[in-house]
Amino acid sequence: MKVLFALQISLFSYSIATGQTTIQGHIKDSDSQPIPGVNIMLLDTYDGTTTDASGKFEFRTAESGMKTLVIKFVGYRELTKQVNLEDKKIIIDASLEEEINQLEAVTITAGSFTAGEASRRTVLRPLDIVTTAGATADIAGVLNTLPGTQKVGEQGRLFVRGGEGNETRTFIDGMVVMEAYGAAAPNTPSRGRFLPFMFKGTSFSTGGYSAEYGQALSSALVLESKDEEAVTRTDVGLLSVGADVAHTRAWDGGSAAGKIQYTNIRPYYKLLDQQIDWKTPPASIEGVAAFRQQVGKTGMVKLYGNFNEADFSLYNHDIDDDKIKSLYDLTNRYRYLNGSYKDALNDNWIIRSGVSYTAIRNDIKVDDMIIGETERGLHAKTVFEGSLSNQLELKAGGEFIVREYDQIFSGNSHAAADHHFNEYIGAAFAETDIFISNDFVTRTGLRLEYNNLTSTIRLDPRISMAYKTGDAGQISLAYGHFRQSPKNEWLKLNTALEAEQAQHYILNYQRIENNKTFRIETYYKRYRDLVKFGNDAGTMLTNNGSGYARGIELFWRDNETIPALDYWISYSFLDTERDYLHFPQQAIPNFASTHNFSIVGKYFINTLNSQVGVTYSFASRRPYHDPNQEKFNSGRTPSYHDISLNLSYLPKPYIVIHFSCTNLAGFDNVFGYEFSTQRNDQGEYNGRPIRHPAKRFLFLGVFITLSRDRSMNMLPSL
């Protein structure tokens, strides 16, 4: 009985509270402002509370002994304090340090436009790539409506801030893409090879970009491919110029997708008159495959492959005598393979590694001269990214880029020399982001490059910073040194040519508020070591060229004011001159126009389940050289105008009907002039305007998506 009584007593005494401790205090941030909503918790217990509107808290606990008090709130670094619960009252006054949050912190915007789902601070959305009229779902097409680009309609590439088309380099998942544009007939625009539907993020830089990207004098187009697809589906597209079928298979942690597209412009050209004398209009077959797989908890492997075979031939008519014509025949074979791996090494560091391989073969026939051109590229890169502390981020890596080029002439008429070169570039780069706070960041980077053809090692610094001026605005500036090996066309003639160089100075102010974006940017670029002809024939080349480009750009986007309407306006002013290639003196290059203006609108008509897009583009007169004039490049084309329209109609959730038309109003746009090499009877050189093959390009497509869930459609994938 005594034992029982003792047990009862011990049971009874067990359930008596052993005494309470009160914990109270005041939580502030580093500016001494109170923080409400903070979680104060006693580790391994339920006890705790939340700070009130003035940052104060108080709670009682029956626990005893030494315990850990944890103070945490989103956006701040967690604080822990040891407390001894034998005291009756504990007062904690603490100040929380800001956590540098990647998505909330200020980002460097000088010279860069990003479109991505993750960040809300972006100016473009991934859907913009496909819904912008005039772009016909070509990435370069929509980027051409942004400030910093010049309209060069006859080439269809990106010409950025007084730079040539090849000065913009495309990267997919960090790996360089050679020949990112499809083969095109001379003076006809080429399209990007990569379909917008593959990408979840696009970063278009008009200057001042990261030390990670090299061999691009003016601009880097950085595309990030999608992570795994979540849903299995089949997509079929019936287009006015061909057809495509794609299948995506999704499983837990990975997906695989494949697409085959056949394009043949011939039926379209038969219907609509063309100004080009096609022998065989362009036809191509393209296959794309993408594979993604999660590896472990944090890793991802991505494989991407693209093959494309395109074929066309046309007759070039002599400028003086239309009846004389020569045949131009091009067969292009393109293979691209890209593999990348990304994983978290630990809580703070990630590794990104990749390899890309490009193989291009062009077989060109000009009358009876046959030119075989092969280009092979290999790019291998590894990057480590991580935080050294809450306020210091570091990125460092190395890469190896190989470019092999072969050009072989055969056939009779011309005894031209064969060309061949192998270029090996090894580079290392490092970049730090120093966050003084969430409002002020400085980025300093250094890039080291070795080139075997010139046997030189070069060091290029890059520095940029951004400062948030308020809730919605920020100032950003950037300076950088960039270099790029000359084009194949020149390097093949003189493999000792040095890289062309450019220095960028950029200043920018951006404000994003309530779905409205305002942006103004000014820049100055200094070009050095541009390729220049040492003789008139262009067979002797030097790096004696130079140039400059400067300008101001404005951008305004609003998808708030008028419901269902999303529009943006962009204007670029460019003042540029260069002394390069065959130029006898410094002059404005042919691809530059002083004023470039675009207004893009998209309107969703709910009752009709449709989206309408309209784009108006303007570019001021471009220079061209008229041999009948004494002064070099004194000719000026008329101004360029274009009104394009596109329409997407969803009759059912899984069907999209898409129609687009460029140059609706039928403006007669002239991009330049070609001149005869001989004088005519009047002693003048005959000229011929360079225009689009047809005034308007019309396109119609029906896209059907088959999946278990019938509400999926191709709208985002067009």
Partner 1 sequence: MKTKHSLVVALLLALITSVSMANDGKYIEAMKKSITQLYEADQIAEYQESVNAFNRIASAEKNKWEAYYYSAYANIMMATLEPYAEKKDAYLDQAMLAIEEAKSLAPNESEVIALEGFAMMMRISVDPGSRGAMYAPQAQQSFNKAVALNENNPRALALKAQMEFGTAQFFGSSTKDACATNAMAIEKFGTYTSENILAPQWGTTMTEGLAEKCK
Nearest distance from C-beta of residue 718 to partner 1, angstroms? 11
Q: Cβ 712 to partner 1, closest distance in Å?
A: 5
Which residue's CB is nearer to partner 1, number 231 or number 540?
A: 231
Beta carbon of residue 44, minimum distance to partner 1 (angstroms, whole number): 5
Burial class (CB in 10 A: 0-12, 13-18, 19+), 321: exposed
Among candidate residues 699, 703, 673, the one with its CA nearest the CA of residue 688: 673
User: 611 has which bridge partners?
Assistant: 604, 648
Residue number, 116 or 426, with CB nearest to partner 1: 116
Do 397 and 382 meet the contact criterion of CB atoms below 8 Å apart?
A: yes
Judged by beta carbon, residue 297 or residue 323, the one nearer partner 1 is 297
Query: Which residue in 128, 162, 164 sits closest to 143, CA to CA?
Result: 128
Q: How far is the CB of 80 from partner 1 (least distance, A)?
A: 12
From the CA atom positions of the chain, what is the Rg in Å? 31
Residue 177: closest CA among 146, 198, 155: 198
Minimum CB separation of residue 496 from partner 1 in Å reads 49
Residues that bind partner 1 (CB under 8 A): 3-4, 7, 11, 36-39, 41-50, 53, 74-75, 103-104, 117, 120, 125-127, 230-231, 559, 566, 606-607, 609, 650, 652-653, 707, 709, 711-712, 715-716
Q: How far is the CB of 130 from partner 1 (least distance, A)?
A: 10
**Choice between 39 and 442, CB closer to partner 1:** 39
To the nearest whole angstrom, how small is the minimum distance from the Cβ of residue 241 to partner 1?
25
Burial class (CB in 10 A: 0-12, 13-18, 19+), 30: exposed
Q: What are phi and psi of 10, to 5 degrees?
A: -65, -35
Least separation in angstroms between residue 709's CB and partner 1 is 5
Q: HSE on the CB side for 264, CA within 13 Å?
A: 6
Task: Choose between 233 and 492: whose C-beta lies nearer to partner 1.
Answer: 233
Query: Looking at beta carbons only, is 514 or 680 nearer to partner 1?
Result: 514
Nearer to partner 1, 101 or 348 (CB): 101
Phi, psi (rounded to 5 degrees) for 716:
-75, -10
Inter-residue contact 293 to 254 (CB < 8 Å): yes
Q: Scan for tokens 């056949």, then name that residue.
A: 262
Closer to partner 1 by CB, 492 or 602: give it. Answer: 602
Tell me if 163 sits within 8 A of 550, measured CB to CB: no
SS3 590: coil
Min CB(344)–partner 1 separation in Å: 15
Three-state secondary structure along 293-338? Answer: EEECCCEEEEEEEEEEEEEEEEEEECCCCCCCEEEEEEEEEEEEEE
- Report in angstroms how near the CB of residue 255 gets to partner 1 at its nearest: 13
- Beta-carbon neighbour count of residue 607 at 10 Å? 5
The residue (of 47 and 521) whose beta carbon lies closer to partner 1 is: 47
The whole-angstrom separation of Cα 423 and Cα 402 is 6
Amino acid identity of 450?
Y
Which structure tokens are listed for 623?
């220079």
DSSP-assigned letter for residue 76:
B
Question: What are 79's strand-pairing partners?
Answer: 71
Using the minimum distance from each CB to partner 1, give the nearer residue, 117 or 277.
117
Contact 700, 661 (CB under 8 A): no
